[in-house]
Structure 1
Amino acid sequence: MNTNDIAQNGGRKAPAFAYDGYGERARIGLIFMASSVVMENEMWAMAPRGVSVHTTRIKLPKVNVEGIQAMMDAPQLEEAARLLASAPIDVLCFGGTSGSFLHGTAYDEALTAKLKNWAPGIAVNTASTGSLAALKALDVGPVVLATPYVDAVHERAIRWLGENGHEVLASDNLRIDEDQALAEVPLEKIFDMVCAMDHPDAEAVFISCTNFRSAAVIGALEEELGKPVVSAVQASFWHALRLAGVEDDCPDYGRLFRCGLPGVGA
């Protein structure tokens, strides 16, 4: 600080303030499951300086087709979107992968349209939309798929990926139907699970479920397997950042963060 700066400040040195995560660059609003914990902390871990995350929660009765459907049909979803839209956010993210791919791509597109109607003037994405955008940005085709889902939900994930040009060459699922139990799977188990099922012809790994830890293993998996690794949380956050105009690389969290949105700035 020079003499003029001190003079303009009443003759005293300007105070140095600590960082408070205010979100002056971008604020991301998150609709997340009430019993879940993973997505919020992973988004904060990945967040560039000046980006903040703001959450409203909805209830997930059970992690099976019936429970997910009940969550998506409940009036709390609209209420959550409208509550988030009352804050000065830049992007509204629906943080449920299975909830948005439950009935395929058309279902996710209809969900996005509803969210835009409930949150007018705010950019919207879902975990499924962000994941597909991530795979497109990385220019990959066939994948291997890791999920913690029960079989019926896992099979819907395979179908949804296939209908979007990403054949699933190998997959594994943990058949967990309690939401809190999803978050308790150790990182070491997730790392070993993905490595064990990798396929030589798969061009990427996709890890689905936003209450299934993944961000911390992405860098290690990419080094081990020599291919991009996309997780639902990482992809949702990357997509939200890009929608908000934040182009930062988050180097510990995968090749994806070196990519811009497909078709933008080309």
Structure 2
Amino acid sequence: MTGATDLKTGGRKAPAFVYDGDGYRARIGLIFMASSVVMENEMWAMAPEGVSVHTNRIKLPKVTVEGIQAMMDAPELEQSARLLASAPLDVLCFGGTSASFLHGTAYDKALIEKMKDWAPGIPVNTASTASLAGLQAVGAGPVVLATPYVDEVHARAIRFLEENGHKVLASDNLRISEDQALAEVPLEKIFDMICEMDTPEAEAVFISCTNFRSAGVIDALEKELGKPVVSAVQSSFWHALRLAGIEDDCPGYGQLFKQPLPEPRA
């Protein structure tokens, strides 16, 4: 009834609140590198209303095999997972691609099992696990690969993809070893890099590294190349949404978001 008293507001007109980023649909926990800046903002950019991201950080000395290994061996990794698990999360994501594929598929799976122990009862994923699920979801076989890594880490990315059924037909890497420098590569350079090396036989593009900008270029690349583009950040977020039961499309960030979570490969 017009003019009726609202007992909850003491007769005042009900206030109009604006959305404050509350994760009333899903809260995603993220373990991320202390010197990195890309993954969080890209996840927030892609997030449907009602999905929030909550981060804890670990130190990455250098983006080399030795530096990544030092990060993974440090006690901060377990501490970070356990601290995040004290929050009411729906998913816990390890946001390091090279760190989770560093020693191949078995290493990535072992990391998943450790995270389950550190965060009991919370679904978990890694950037590498999510990337494979994303490529599977878009029906990709052979791919082209873009990374900012030094040669040795880039070679391990190729090995990881190929041991999981994705032959790398063409690839390029920027040979960057400083984490902060990864995030400074402009989208225009990433777009040109991928367009120049694409080959018609590749069924998808994969962009590796969670501190390497990708979200803003995915739609433009898909339109230019006529094939799906999967990135480590985008697939990690998509995978986390699906684990949390969120089936939303995220328009502008790739055809991956139109796909359900596939059944794990045997």
Q: Structure 1-normalised TM-score?
A: 0.97
**Which amino acid is the alignment partner of residue 191 of structure 2?**
F
Residue number in structure 2 paired with 1:68: 68
Structure 2 counterpart SS, 1:251: coil
* Separation in structure 1 between the aligned mates of residue 203 and residue 5 of structure 2, nearest angstrom: 58
* Separation in structure 2 between the aligned mates of residue 6 and residue 253 of structure 1, nearest angstrom: 46
* Count of aligned pairs: 263
* Separation in structure 2 between the aligned mates of residue 20 and residue 203 of structure 1, nearest angstrom: 40
Q: Output one character per residue of 1:47-92: Cα deviation in whole Å (capped at 9) or x when no partner.
A: 0000000000000001000000000010000000000000111100
Structure 1 counterpart SS, 2:172: strand
1:92-107 equivalent positions in 2, closer than 5 A: 92-107=92-107
Q: Output one character per residue of 1:70-125: Cα deviation in whole Å (capped at 9) or x when no partner.
A: 00010000000000000111100000000000000100000000000000000000
1:47-66 equivalent positions in 2, closer than 5 A: 47-66=47-66
Q: Output one character per residue of 1:187-219: Cα deviation in whole Å (capped at 9) or x when no partner.
A: 100000000000110000000000000000000
Residue number in structure 2 paired with 1:175: 175
* Separation in structure 1 between the aligned mates of residue 199 and residue 4 of structure 2, nearest angstrom: 61
* Separation in structure 1 between the aligned mates of residue 98 and residue 76 of structure 2, nearest angstrom: 17
**Which amino acid is the alignment partner of residue 219 of structure 2?**
G
Instruction: Give the drift of 1:17.
Output: 0.7
**CA 1:224–1:49: 2 relative to 1, 3 Å:** same
**CA 1:118–1:3: 2 relative to 1, 3 Å:** same
**Which amino acid is the alignment partner of residue 210 of structure 2?**
T
Residue number in structure 1 paired with 2:166: 166
* Unaligned 5+ runs, structure 2: none
1:18-57 equivalent positions in 2, closer than 5 A: 18-57=18-57
**Residues 1:128 and 2:128 aligned together:** yes
Residue number in structure 1 paired with 2:219: 219
**CA 1:132–1:4: 2 relative to 1, 3 Å:** farther
Structure 2 counterpart SS, 1:175: coil
**CA 1:112–1:8: 2 relative to 1, 3 Å:** same
* Separation in structure 2 between the aligned mates of residue 155 and residue 235 of structure 1, nearest angstrom: 21
**Which amino acid is the alignment partner of residue 72 of structure 1?**
M
**CA 1:4–1:164: 2 relative to 1, 3 Å:** farther
**Residues 1:91 and 2:85 aligned together:** no
Aligned-residue sequence identity (percent) comes to 80
Contact 1:6 1:14 in 2 (8 A): no
* Separation in structure 1 between the aligned mates of residue 6 and residue 78 of structure 2, nearest angstrom: 53
* Separation in structure 2 between the aligned mates of residue 5 and residue 240 of structure 1, nearest angstrom: 45
Instruction: Give the drift of 1:129.
Output: 0.5
Structure 1 counterpart SS, 2:158: helix
**Which amino acid is the alignment partner of residue 31 of structure 1?**
I
Moved over 4 A (4+): none
Worse-matched range after superposition: 8-17 or 164-173: 8-17
Structure 1 counterpart SS, 2:224: helix
**Residues 1:194 and 2:197 aligned together:** no
Instruction: Give the drift of 1:5.
Output: 6.7
Structure 2 counterpart SS, 1:200: coil
**Residues 1:252 and 2:258 aligned together:** no
**Which amino acid is the alignment partner of residue 136 of structure 1?**
Q
Residue number in structure 2 paired with 1:3: 2
Instruction: Give the drift of 1:11.
Output: 2.9
* Separation in structure 1 between the aligned mates of residue 104 and residue 157 of structure 2, nearest angstrom: 8
**Which amino acid is the alignment partner of residue 107 of structure 2?**
Y
**CA 1:5–1:38: 2 relative to 1, 3 Å:** farther
Instruction: Give the drift of 1:140.
Output: 1.0
Instruction: Give the drift of 1:139.
Output: 1.1
Q: Structure 2-normalised TM-score?
A: 0.97
